[in-house]
Amino acid sequence: MTEIHIKEHSSPIKTPKQLVVVVVLAFVVPITLIVMLSQLITSGGDAGKSSPGMSDEAIAKRIQPVGRVVVANLDAPRAEKSGKEVVAAVCAACHASGALNAPKIGDKTAWGKLIKAGLDPLTKSAIKGVRQMPPRGGSPELSDVEIARAVAYMANQAGANFKEPAPKPAPAAKDAPAAAQAAAAPAAPAAPAAKAAASEGKAVFEANCAACHGTGVAGAPKAGDKAAWAPRLKTGTEALYTSAIKGKNAMPPKGGNPSLPDADVKAAVDYLVGLIK
């Protein structure tokens, strides 16, 4: 019979030293790969954070509230704003983008006919309100001079050459004896708490609610409109508070400013209710 010889396969590991090397590599290579991957992932995350759009400052700016409320003493003297300041604070909301058919800042075609009318007629229209623009741009605290400055500033961006009105001269000071008598007179009684609360509610309204309730946009009951507010008053003050805080129909919670305290929202509701009582 023919003998069948089976050839044995030889192992690549022939010495104890080679066996030790293989075992060491089996541990070292995976660990090295894991360390390299972890460093790559970490460096990638740091690079993303170091980019301008991912910095802590940029993120904080993107997530800040849409609006802010500043409650001020309405009886205190106020420095008049320049035309540029008024536009940035009030007018840019519509005129920067052309929203609600407002003539866009810098659009010479849209402003051409308006500029021909002159500064005074344009100022009177801005003070009284025109089409969808409420009187004084929805900020009744603005003076006539400030409105005129804002109109002049916007018109000049489209090629006009209007001169912004100068501030009105301060009233003449009283003579010395009259001033001394005024200083010696007893102090006037402090304003009642109700007046302070009304001032605070008015400030909150003007900063957050006037855009819709000042003109009746999106079905919002217009400030001072008794007929529009009558059915809402029947539900009670607490129901009005709840609607304003949680939102109702097209109105977002807290008028779109979630940072407003509930007390400020209630003060604005009280102010609106007080206008029709």
- CATH number reported for the structural domain that contains residue 262 in this entry: 1.10.760.10
Question: Which among 133, 157, 181 is the end of a domain?
Answer: 157
DSSP per-residue codes, 44-92: HHHHHHHSGGGSHHHHHHHTS-S-------TTS--PPPPHHHHIIIIIH
Q: Go through 60-90 and write b for each residue having 16 or more CB atoms within 10 A of its CB, e for each that does not.
A: eeeeeeeeebeeeeeeeeeeebebeebbeeb
pTM listed for this prediction:
0.40
Report the pLDDT value the prediction gives residue 28, as an integer from 0 to 100: 85
Looking at residue 124, its pLDDT comes to 92
Q: For residue 128, what are the domain limits? A: 83-157
Domain count for the chain: 2
Closest CA to 214 of 129, 101, 93: 129
Grouped pLDDT means (10 residues each) for the chain, 277 residues:
54 76 84 86 58 60 56 63 88 85 90 90 90 86 90 90 76 50 50 60 81 78 85 85 84 80 88 83
Per-residue confidence (pLDDT) for residue 256, from 0 to 100: 74
The pLDDT, as a whole number, for residue 190 is 44
Query: Is 42 within a domain?
Result: no
Which token pair is 254? 């807290």
**From CA 148, how far away is CA 65, in angstroms rounded?**
30
